[in-house]
Amino acid sequence: MAVEMEVFRDMSLHGPRAKRDELRAALMSAASGNWSVDLERSEEMKRSALTDEDVVLFRYQGDPAAGLTLWGTEDGYYVPNVVPLTFGSLTITEYNEVLQDFIEVVVEPVAARLGFELRATQSQQTMSDWVSEDVETKLRRFSRAANKSTGASHPSDERRWFDFILTIHRRGERLDADKLSRWLREVEQWDEETAHELAGDYERARALLRFADEN
């Protein structure tokens, strides 16, 4: 059975471009209870980001207090981040709880009524949620066979590691280095330092392969 990891959820809204202004107004009107809209900060963020897209900042006065940003897209909005209003950072659980409250209080009452589809990822995911079976098999093959004290330095381990990287590149699939590092540590039981080194090696290899494709 695949081992699940808790991850930051994604949320986006998709629907008719002609109704996006109506959706914006409805979402702002739906902000109630612990939720409010900070239009002044919204304008500041838009100016600093040098974007023509709409930006709306919502404030959550629950525990923990947080700011949630809605960023305009061609056919709706998405949430790029949820940040604490005071200091430090939100845990994955806190982040997801704030996002879920926003979905229930602000988004769900208005989205479907205006013809917008709500898309939200799950908080518990496995490697198969991120990559194809072929890529996952090659990554697991490397991880299970490798000497976890030496990473991919042994020639046989290196070949399996390169096979994984080349396969995910050729398939055009995305797997960010942070998720890879966490998966190696939490699921495959690699030590933190080696997992971090492998993730960095993976990121550099992907960048090199993209450069080779473009030149």
Residues 104 and 185 in one domain: no
pLDDT of residue 57: 95
Residues 108 and 147 in one domain: no
Say how many Å lie between the first and final Cα of the chain, rounded.
42
Residues 115 and 48 in one domain: yes
Asked if 91 and 75 count as a contact pair (C-beta separation under 8 A), the reply is no
**pLDDT (mean) for 54-68:** 94
pLDDT of residue 112: 93
Residues 15 and 98 in one domain: yes
Partnered with residue 76 across adjacent β-strands are 14, 73
Residues 159 and 101 in one domain: no
Asked if 165 and 205 count as a contact pair (C-beta separation under 8 A), the reply is yes
Whether residue 131 has pLDDT greater than 60:
yes
Give the chain's domain count. 2
Asked if 124 and 8 count as a contact pair (C-beta separation under 8 A), the reply is no
Point out the domain boundary residue: 124, 158, 191.
124
Residues 107 and 145 in one domain: no
pLDDT of residue 179: 93
Residues 19 and 87 in one domain: yes
Specify the range with the lowest mean pLDDT, choosing from 23-37, 39-53, 112-126: 39-53
Residues 24 and 10 in one domain: yes
- What is the torsional sign of CA 76, 81, 82, 85? negative
Residues 23 and 49 in one domain: yes
Domain that holds residue 120: 5-124
pLDDT of residue 48: 80
As a whole number of angstroms, the distance between CA 118 and CA 97 comes to 17
Point out the domain boundary residue: 87, 108, 124.
124
**pLDDT (mean) for 125-137:** 95
The verdict on pTM exceeding 0.85 is no
Point out the domain boundary residue: 124, 144, 163.
124
Residues 75 and 96 in one domain: yes
Residues 73 and 17 in one domain: yes
Asked if 82 and 66 count as a contact pair (C-beta separation under 8 A), the reply is yes
CATH number of the structural domain spanning residue 96? 3.30.310
